[in-house]
């Protein structure tokens, strides 16, 4: 059974940093690209970032470019999102998702709240 379990969310002040993690299991992790997708309270889904199977190719939404960094550790079956210079508008539930050419599995998400 495919499982994606996010962690690392919390409350942070504007300008602060957080590192999200996603532990993957139930599939061969390095066979897949991975993504982060967020959902602000009461809003729709917004793609944040994606990474290919070996980390050699990454992409970012314009809204996070230069502030967020996606990475992965295939030996640990883990995906990460380093978030710096956080803003109030980054407040959202962050989902780890399998796939960069169409998500086919979703994690439950970890909540990030940016507030002073």
Q: Which residues of 75-106 are buried (b: 16+ CB within 10 A; e: fewer)?
A: eebbbbbebeebeeebbbbbbbbbebeebebb
Q: Are 37 and 95 in contact (CB under 8 A)?
A: yes
- How far apart (Å, rounded) are the C-alpha atoms in residues 32 and 45? 21
Residue 81 CA from chain centroid, whole number: 5
Give the shortest CB-107-to-another protein separation in angstroms.
7
Convert residues 63-102 into a mask of x (bound to another protein by CB under 8 A) and - (unbound). --------------------------------x----xxx
Convert residues 18-57 into a mask of x (bound to another protein by CB under 8 A) and - (unbound). -----------------x-x------xxxx--x------x
Is residue 103 within the footprint of another protein (CB under 8 A)? Answer: yes
Contact residues: another protein, CB under 8 A: 35, 37, 44-47, 50, 57-59, 61, 95, 100-109
């Amino acid at each position: 059974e495919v499982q994606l379990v996010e962690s690392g969310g919390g409350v942070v002040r504007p300008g602060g940093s957080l590192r999200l993690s996603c532990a993957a299991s139930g599939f061969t992790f390095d066979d897949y690209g991975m993504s982060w997708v967020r959902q602000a309270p009461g809003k729709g889904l917004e793609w944040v970032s994606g990474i290919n199977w070996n980390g050699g190719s990454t992409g970012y939404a314009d809204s996070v470019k230069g502030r967020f960094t996606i990475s992965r550790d295939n030996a640990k079956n883990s995906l990460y999102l380093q978030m710096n210079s956080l803003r109030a508008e980054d407040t959202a539930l962050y989902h780890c998702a399998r796939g960069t050419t169409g998500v086919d599995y979703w994690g439950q998400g970890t909540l990030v709240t940016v507030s002073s």
